[in-house]
């Protein structure tokens, strides 16, 4: 059975030990969910693939007008958050009529239908940044910060939210009565 201690490396492994310790304390005290809910009370209304496509196109138009077009944006029920990713960006190239046609797709893990609005925004910013920058390097994170100045805080808090969801979904021990 997973405990807050055993889940910390999965969700917060790249962060400093002091931040991990703070998250662990909140999780063990059962306050992590309340802290996140008070910090991010606003839910989003982006529930369908069509609404997600429109949301992504709007963000792209505001911050990355010159980037390659995105042909498809969907919530993906098959993305496994820990073993794969929170979202994916793919390039599909095909030859049609002697010309090379490239399409770009963004898939967002369906669990973000229930996420606070800022966490969906962070995932979309991350995937849009991949339109220009393939690697998670300095240029990539600079672009993320251009699109969302609070990107790094949102990424950390999204990981805390995922940790909280993992803790909330584990079975509770039976109590003697």
Query: Is the per-residue pLDDT at 48 higher than 70?
Result: yes
Q: Which of 67, 70, 100 is nearest to 88 (CA)?
A: 70
Taking the C-alpha atoms of residue 12 and residue 141, their distance in angstroms, rounded to an integer, is 18
Confidence tier at 174 by pLDDT (50, 70, 90): low
Give per-residue pLDDT as tens, 30-43.
999 999 999 999 99
> What's the chain's average pLDDT?
86
Taking the C-alpha atoms of residue 72 and residue 106, their distance in angstroms, rounded to an integer, is 6
DSSP assignment letter at 69 = P
Give per-residue pLDDT as tens, 69-110.
888 999 988 876 654 455 555 555 556 666 666 678 888 989
Q: Which of 95, 147, 157, 92 is nearest to 124 (CA)?
A: 147
DSSP-derived 3-state class of residue 29: coil
Residues β-bridged to residue 107:
74, 88
Percent of the chain with pLDDT over 70: 81
Q: Once rounded to an integer, what is the mean pLDDT over residues 126-139?
A: 92
What does residue 16 show for φ and ψ, rounded to 5 degrees?
-60, 150
Angle at the Cα of 89 (from 88 to 93), degrees rounded to 5?
Answer: 135
Q: Once rounded to an integer, what is the mean pLDDT over residues 107-131?
A: 93
Residue 69's pLDDT is 85
DSSP-derived 3-state class of residue 82: coil
Q: Once rounded to an integer, what is the mean pLDDT over residues 20-27?
A: 94
Q: Once rounded to an integer, what is the mean pLDDT over residues 157-162?
A: 94
Q: Which of 61, 90, 63 is nearest to 74 (CA)?
A: 90
């Amino acid at each position: 059975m997973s405990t807050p201690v055993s889940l910390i490396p999965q969700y917060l492994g790249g962060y400093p030990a002091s931040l991990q310790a703070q998250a662990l304390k909140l999780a063990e005290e059962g306050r992590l969910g309340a802290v996140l809910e008070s910090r991010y009370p606003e839910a989003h209304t982006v529930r369908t693939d069509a609404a997600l496509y429109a949301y992504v196109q709007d963000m792209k138009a505001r911050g990355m007008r010159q980037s390659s077009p995105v042909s498809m944006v969907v919530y993906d029920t098959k993305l496994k958050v820990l073993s794969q990713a929170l979202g994916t960006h793919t390039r599909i190239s095909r030859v049609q009529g002697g010309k090379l046609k490239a399409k770009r797709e963004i898939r967002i893990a369906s669990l973000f239908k229930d996420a606070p609005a800022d966490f969906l925004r962070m995932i979309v910013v991350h995937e849009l940044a991949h339109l220009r920058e393939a690697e998670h390097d300095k240029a990539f994170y600079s672009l993320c910060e251009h699109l969302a100045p609070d990107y790094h805080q949102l990424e950390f808090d999204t990981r805390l939210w995922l940790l909280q969801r993992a803790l909330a979904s584990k079975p509770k021990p039976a109590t003697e009565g």
